[in-house]
Amino acid sequence: MKPVHVQAWVNQLAALEKPDGSKISPSTVKRIYAILCAVVKHAMKQGLITQNPTDTDRVTLPRITAPKVDIFT
């Protein structure tokens, strides 16, 4: 597994549609990606792999946009 494969997987996750037709949120993609990172980190600790293909310097995650907040005065 290489960073290019991880990036392609992240892009596929970001393009997934929910049953109502909307796409999954960037924060959901980030949570799923965090699980993959934990699995890869454990594999590195066990000596199963030598490099971390999920390194955030090599993979770009979708941007999380903060919701607009209306302040009532």
Q: What is the CATH number of the domain that holds 66?
A: 1.10.150.130
Percent of the chain whose predicted confidence (pLDDT) is above 70:
100
Q: Which domain holds residue 61?
A: 1-73
The model's pTM is 0.79
- Number of structural domains (the chain) is 1
- Listing DSSP states for 1-68 in one string gives --HHHHHHHHHHHHH-B-TTSPBPPHHHHHHHHHHHHHHHHHHHHTTS-SS-TT-TTT-PPPPPPPPP
CA angle at 45 for the pair 30 and 5, rounded to the nearest 5°:
45
pLDDT above 80 for 66: no
